[in-house]
């Protein structure tokens, strides 16, 4: 399928010259990001030369970003593309041009899942953030949060064991502390200590242990890694030492070995650094509605989480660069 060219947009061009459909945040993000890097990555998507022209992949990626920033369903985004001039302005979509419908949006998402481009897109944004001097890499804060499944919780089996959902077999039961069981997935993030930007985001099944993910979440170029007691195993501390990275992991005690007063004091000191990563999850859940996954299955939900982190970083980038002015 051929792609429409993003050129000669007479009506959109007229809008840009005036202030019709003005949304300062969207306009600033659009100006500050070099979209050519993303266009190059998106060229890898499956396409053919037959059929009517499709929408440019970059336009569809921007649709995904709008969807995450404004917490919209596919139908909700389709409707908003006709209601909001600021959205059309951001996409470079002419006033007399049909906007992508919900099925087009869904198919593009499926293509992204099939071609597995989420990591390449995230690395491209990190490259640009680094060129802007926003990533300081002094420290990385690692944390995880349970995200509820989009399907109903399955009833327990007759023998009392946890049941699997026939609709979403990738969703799992897990427990956290002394609280009730949770059903869904687990979102893991690595956050740059000073900027609050997400450097890595991975979605796993809910049963995956936080501590077992540390090696995957360490970037390798930071000076120190921070994590709560779930990450404070001996093997994780040894791993950081081998990598030449300072240990900012809290120490975990057990019933056979209680924490010393010195270890308790150290844990209390390290807990002060957690605010940056806690703010990230707070924003994702409060502002982006990420308290439950949106789709069925790990692959599609993993893509959604990666796009969510991408959208978060773009807005954070805009805030940081505005603060520097």
Give me the CATH number covering residue 170.
3.30.420.10
Q: Does 17 score more than 60 pLDDT?
A: no
**Of the candidates 83, 115, 147, which is a domain's last residue?**
115
Is there a single domain that holds both residue 89 and residue 158?
A: no
Give residue 300's domain range. Answer: 136-324
Residue 121 falls inside a structural domain: no
Q: Would you place residue 46 in the very low, low, confident or very high pLDDT band (cuts 50, 70, 90)? A: low
Contact 32, 317 (CB under 8 A): yes
Is there a single domain that holds both residue 146 and residue 111?
A: no
Residue 307 falls inside a structural domain: yes
Is there a single domain that holds both residue 283 and residue 219?
A: yes
Position 52 scores a pLDDT of 47
Position 19 scores a pLDDT of 60
Residue 53 falls inside a structural domain: yes
Number of alpha helices (DSSP H) and beta strands (DSSP E) in the chain:
13, 6
What are the two backbone dihedrals, phi and then psi, of residue 136, each rounded to the nearest 5 degrees?
Answer: -95, -25
Residue 158 falls inside a structural domain: yes
Residue 129 falls inside a structural domain: no
Short-list 69, 115, 299, 280, CA closest to 203 = 299
Length of the chain: 325
Element (H, E) at 317: helix 298-324
Short-list 21, 24, 7, 2, CA closest to 322 = 24
Short-list 206, 167, 166, 172, CA closest to 187 = 206
Q: Would you place residue 11 in the very low, low, confident or very high pLDDT band (cuts 50, 70, 90)? A: low
Domains in the chain: how many in total?
2
What's the pLDDT tens digit per position in 193-251?
Answer: 999 999 999 999 999 999 999 999 999 999 999 999 999 999 999 999 999 999 999 99
Is there a single domain that holds both residue 172 and residue 288?
A: yes
Direct distance between the N- and C-terminal alpha carbons of the chain, in angstroms, rounded to an integer: 43
Residue 123 falls inside a structural domain: no
61 against 3, higher pLDDT? 61
Element (H, E) at 122: helix 118-131
Token representation of residue 163? 């049941």
Residue 245 falls inside a structural domain: yes
Residue 83 falls inside a structural domain: yes
Is there a single domain that holds both residue 107 and residue 147?
A: no
Is there a single domain that holds both residue 141 and residue 237?
A: yes
Q: What's the alpha-carbon Rg for the chain, to the nearest Å?
A: 22
What's the pLDDT tens digit per position in 280-323?
Answer: 999 999 999 999 999 999 999 999 999 999 999 999 999 999 86
Token representation of residue 238? 């040894």
CA separation, residue 304 to residues 173, 290, 294, 313 (Å): 21, 10, 8, 14
**Of the candidates 52, 85, 115, which is a domain's last residue?**
115
Q: Does 136 score more than 80 pLDDT?
A: yes
Is there a single domain that holds both residue 222 and residue 108?
A: no
Contact 59, 91 (CB under 8 A): yes
Is there a single domain that holds both residue 223 and residue 257?
A: yes
Q: Per the confidence metrics, is the pTM higher than 0.75?
A: yes
78-82, 127-131, 155-159, 302-306, range with the lowest pLDDT:
155-159
Is there a single domain that holds both residue 151 and residue 277?
A: yes
Which pairs with CB-CB distance under 8 Å and at least 24 residues apart come from 58-64? 58/6, 59/6, 59/91, 59/92, 59/93, 59/100, 60/100, 60/104, 60/105, 60/108, 61/121, 62/90, 62/91, 63/91, 63/100, 63/105, 63/108, 64/105, 64/108, 64/109, 64/112, 64/307, 64/311
Is there a single domain that holds both residue 93 and residue 30?
A: yes
Contact 100, 80 (CB under 8 A): no
**Of the candidates 63, 84, 115, which is a domain's last residue?**
115
Is there a single domain that holds both residue 39 and residue 159?
A: no
Is there a single domain that holds both residue 319 and residue 224?
A: yes
């Amino acid at each position: 399928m051929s792609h429409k060219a993003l050129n000669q947009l007479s009506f959109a061009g007229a809008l840009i010259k005036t202030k019709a459909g003005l949304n300062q945040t969207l306009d600033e993000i659009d100006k500050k990001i070099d979209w050519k890097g993303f266009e190059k990555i998106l060229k890898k998507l499956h396409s053919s030369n037959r059929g009517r022209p499709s929408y440019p992949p970059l336009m569809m990626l921007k649709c995904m970003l709008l969807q995450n920033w404004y917490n919209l369903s596919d139908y909700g985004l389709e409707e908003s593309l006709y209601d909001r001039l600021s959205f059309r302005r951001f996409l470079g979509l002419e006033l007399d041009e049909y906007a992508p419908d919900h099925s087009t949006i869904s198919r593009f998402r499926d293509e992204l899942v099939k071609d597995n481009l989420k990591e390449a897109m995230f690395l491209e944004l990190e490259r640009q953030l680094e060129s802007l001097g926003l990533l300081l890499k002094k420290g990385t804060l690692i944390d995880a949060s349970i995200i509820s499944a989009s399907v109903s919780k399955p009833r327990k089996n007759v023998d009392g064991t946890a049941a699997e959902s026939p609709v979403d077999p990738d969703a799992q039961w897990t427990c956290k502390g002394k609280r009730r069981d949770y059903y869904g997935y687990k979102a893991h993030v690595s956050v740059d200590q000073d900027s609050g930007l997400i450097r890595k985001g991975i979605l796993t099944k809910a049963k995956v242990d936080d501590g077992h993910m540390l090696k995957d979440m360490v970037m390798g170029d930071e000076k120190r890694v921070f994590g709560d007691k779930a990450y404070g195993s001996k093997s994780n501390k040894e791993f950081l030492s081998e990598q030449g990275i300072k240990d900012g992991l809290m120490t975990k005690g057990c019933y056979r070995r209680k924490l010393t007063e010195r270890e308790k004091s150290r844990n209390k000191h390290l807990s002060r650094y957690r605010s940056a990563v806690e703010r990230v999850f707070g924003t994702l859940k409060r502002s982006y509605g990420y308290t439950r996954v949106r789709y069925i299955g790990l692959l599609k939900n993993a893509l959604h989480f990666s796009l969510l982190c991408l959208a978060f970083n773009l807005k954070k980038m805009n805030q940081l660069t505005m603060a520097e002015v």
